Copies of this chain bind each other. A is one copy, B any other.
């Protein structure tokens, strides 16, 4: 092979989530959508709010070059201003438009953040189980992805384990709360302990350690408070996307925030822009930048996910499944009924149930059940879950 081997490998392997979703689509075409219970993808079933449609309609009335033209690379000033103002209202901060860099969604936010921070040879710590694409982007930026298991009881960050994994090559830690795939929300105390551990390590090693807070599920919680991470640890970068909160995953719109409290703020703002430029992100889609201006404070329809969560947890509970009670996001982390999650998945698949086995999340023995589907899918899947459980008796 004379072409780039890693690109080939990443194309040939595919993401297991995407692979299962593709199988689900094909299977639905074969036997009817109502007979396949596809829990693989984090594709919200809840429509985008009506205000998105209204915002698009309004944008279409703009003068042509303002409507679909290039925006500045970091985004329309009004959109960046709207994001900063919204954060300031919610978290008592004093961010400016210049701290916000609009991106083509969370994947871009994260890829850009890794390319902003790491140099070849660096290490980036992820809290397992974790979103598998983190590893792809971390390795592409030239760093090593170091997995640290979450606390196996609470799925909070295991701070002593993180501290033990830090060395002079550790450039950053990625956290994701509310968490995909587990649904945990990191408590204020947990994050404060992490901050102390990071500062201790920085002092001990004479290095700087960054915290990348990946927050696409911030608005989707079931009572839990999601602390504002930059208020707890200074060297934080926040990654966000409207994919989940506004149900716009296909439109690729999100942002990176370099808080003005980050001691490297001015350098990082430029490096974020440089990383975006390097990778070929010219600007975030212009039409959806206008949507951000209008819909930045639009509430997320959490009640629909809460109902799904109830239906799924009550149903699986009654069938004897064990799972982690999710505090946020829209995934249920269910214990496989045998040690090998892939074998368990194959049995589920034979019953037309499509969760995602946990191995690709860096953690054996579980499956992720995405409940951002229709409630009907959850209710109608229960006989199959029952058969699956019975097959293990």
Contacts and interface: CB of A to CB of B under 8 A. Distances in A.
A207 interface: yes
Interface residues of A, number: 85
Contacts of A125: none
A264 B3 CA distance: 9
B4 A119 contact: yes
Contacts of A287: 250-251, 287
Copies in the complex: 2
A270 B7 CA distance: 8
A6 B278 contact: yes
A6 to B, nearest CB: 7
A4 B116 contact: yes
A279 B43 contact: no
Interface string A259-281: 00000100111111111011111
Contacts of A208: 2
Contact of A107 (B9, B47, B141, B280): B280
A119 B7 CA distance: 10
Contact of A247 (B14, B18, B68): B68
A310 interface: no
A140 B285 contact: no
A69 B287 CA distance: 16
A10 B48 contact: no
A108 B29 CA distance: 32
B68 A251 contact: yes
Interface in A1-47: 1-12, 14-15, 18, 22, 41, 43-47
A136 interface: yes
A371 interface: no
A48 B67 contact: yes
A279 B140 contact: yes
Interface stretch (A70-78, A146-154, A346-354): A70-78
B48 A64 contact: yes
Contacts of A196: none
Contacts of A288: 285
A136 B65 CA distance: 27
Contacts of A133: 277
Contacts of A64: 46-48, 247
B271 A71 contact: no
A388 interface: no
A334 interface: no
A249 B73 CA distance: 12
A119 B9 CA distance: 14
A182 interface: no
26 contacts: A2-B119, A2-B208, A3-B117, A3-B271, A4-B117, A4-B271, A5-B119, A6-B274, A12-B274, A15-B277, A18-B73, A43-B69, A44-B69, A47-B67, A48-B64, A68-B250, A70-B249, A70-B250, A107-B282, A108-B280, A110-B280, A111-B279, A112-B280, A250-B283, A250-B286, A251-B286
